[in-house]
A and B are shown apart, each in its own frame.
Chain A
Amino acid sequence: MRALIVDDSRAMRRIVGRILGDAGFEILEAGDGQEALTVLEGLGGPPELACVDWNMPVMDGLTFITEVRKRPEWRSITLMMVTTESESDRIVRALAAGAHEYLIKPFTGEAMLEKLDLLGLLRTSTGV
């Protein structure tokens, strides 16, 4: 299984990548939403998961999610927002745009794995 991590912070991509890598995912990275769309277009098929920051330069995470949801060929991607935006109206907006889950920074590895488990991605990925 593959996961695309979209975050303008290299450090955060590294942290999320380590958690997902340990859970058995092959990691793809992008530094903003536009770059993430380019990565998706270059793949033979969509990844199973995309972890998306909200506040990024060039294209923010909410716009990226909206763009992904316009494309039928990417409908299978599970979208998880991973962001500092903690207000309830932001969470509602992200879910309305098509995000499946929402994880607020700072988070623990355990919290992210719980979300993956709820999404049915953890068992499949680790083969448990």
Chain B
Amino acid sequence: MTISSAPDQALVLAAIEQVWGSMLFATAEAWPSDRAADFETGVQAQIELHGDWNGRLVLTCDSDVATQIAGAMLGLGPDEELPELDIHDAVGEVLNVVGGSVKGALVGTWALGLPGVSETSGAPSRDESFVVSWGDAPVYVQILPDAA
């Protein structure tokens, strides 16, 4: 599938479903809009996308979900622990692969930046994001255009 405009929610969701399945051996589903999806401290990964549209993809999740995502990606057992640096690296690489899949589905010349990952407090506004599931936990996804 190729899209000739800015990345939209359906395209990004399809990329997330692909990456969840192939890299994390999990299923991603849309999070019900009427279900609470809050958390206090989390991890936020961002990656820039430039082309006919300029902006960034942002993935935000609870710290425990980030740990689980890193563990699934690396095939760790439940008792194996990772340092925070490695958890951030894994979440950033997940978003990097999502971004690559999105970029590959867009028509024209596009460039993907390098992922950046940081701690965050609180979930993004649901008005500016959509939410997918990681097991029974929410993962926020934002498609944010650069400021004009």
Interface, chain A (partner B; CB < 8 A)? 8-12, 14-15, 18, 55-57, 83-87, 104-108
Main secondary structure of the interface of A (DSSP, over half): loop
Surface stretch bound by A, among B57-65, B86-94, B128-136, B140-148: B86-94
List B residues 75-96 near A (Cβ within 8 Å).
Answer: 75, 85-86, 89-90, 92-93, 96
Number of A-B pairs whose CB atoms are under 8 Å?
58
Given A9-B92, A11-B74, A11-B89, decide whether A84 and B22 contact each other with a Cβ distance below 8 A.
no
Tell me if A55 and B114 are in contact (CB < 8 A). yes
Tell me if A84 and B73 are in contact (CB < 8 A). no
Report chain A residues within 8 Å CB of B42: none
Tell me if B97 and A105 are in contact (CB < 8 A). yes
The complex places the Cα of A9 from the Cα of B99 at a distance, in Å, of 15
Nearest 6 A-B pairs (CB), nearest first? Answer: A84-B100, A86-B104, A11-B90, A106-B22, A9-B93, A106-B23
A-B CB contact pairs (8 Å), 25 listed:
A8-B114, A9-B92, A9-B96, A10-B86, A11-B86, A11-B93, A15-B73, A55-B113, A55-B114, A57-B114, A83-B100, A84-B97, A84-B99, A84-B101, A86-B100, A86-B103, A87-B104, A104-B104, A105-B97, A105-B100, A106-B19, A106-B22, A106-B23, A106-B97, A106-B101
Q: Is B18 an interface residue (CB 8 A)?
A: yes
Q: Is B70 an interface residue (CB 8 A)?
A: yes
The complex places the Cα of A9 from the Cα of B88 at a distance, in Å, of 10
Report chain A residues within 8 Å CB of B75: 18
How many residues on the B side are at the interface (Cβ–Cβ under 8 A)? 24
Tell me if B103 and A11 are in contact (CB < 8 A). no
The complex places the Cα of A84 from the Cα of B70 at a distance, in Å, of 18
Tell me if A55 and B112 are in contact (CB < 8 A). yes
Known: A14-B74, A56-B114, A106-B18. 7 other contacts (CB 8 A): A10-B89, A11-B93, A15-B73, A84-B99, A84-B100, A84-B103, A105-B96
CB closest residue in chain A, given B86: A10
List B residues 97-135 near A (Cβ within 8 Å).
Answer: 97, 99-101, 103-104, 112-114
Q: How far is the CB of A80 from chain B (nearest CB, A)?
A: 17
Report chain B residues within 8 Å CB of A106: 18-19, 22-23, 97, 101
The complex places the Cα of A77 from the Cα of B73 at a distance, in Å, of 29
Q: When the two chains form the complex, which single residue of A11, A57, A86 contacts B70, counting CB atoms closer than 8 Å?
A: A11
